[in-house]
């Protein structure tokens, strides 16, 4: 009978840890999908790296062909 209690306690601890991990991951996901974060990510993409080249080309073509 004591083993059953220990097993139950262990299962409850495992479930509590799993819930805590899920809560943290959902919070992180919520932060990443917040509108202001999405906008910041989009602006970073456009102003740096390959996105910057695309944006510069687009602006140059728009200026050349108004």
Per residue in 4-37, pLDDT (tens digit) is 788 999 999 999 999 999 999 999 999 989 998 8
Q: Considering only residues 13 and 51, tell me which one the structure prediction assigns the higher pLDDT.
A: 13
- pTM more than 0.75: no
pLDDT at 1 over 60: no
pLDDT at 40 over 60: yes
- pLDDT band for position 62 (cuts 50, 70, 90): confident
Q: From CA 48, how far away is CA 46, in angstroms rounded? A: 6
């Amino acid at each position: 009978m004591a083993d059953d209690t220990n097993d139950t306690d262990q299962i409850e601890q495992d479930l509590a840890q799993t819930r805590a991990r899920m809560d943290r991951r959902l919070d992180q996901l919520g932060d990443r999908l917040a509108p202001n974060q999405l906008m910041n990510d989009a602006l970073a993409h456009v102003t740096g790296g390959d996105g910057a080249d695309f944006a510069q080309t687009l602006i140059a073509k728009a200026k050349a062909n108004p």
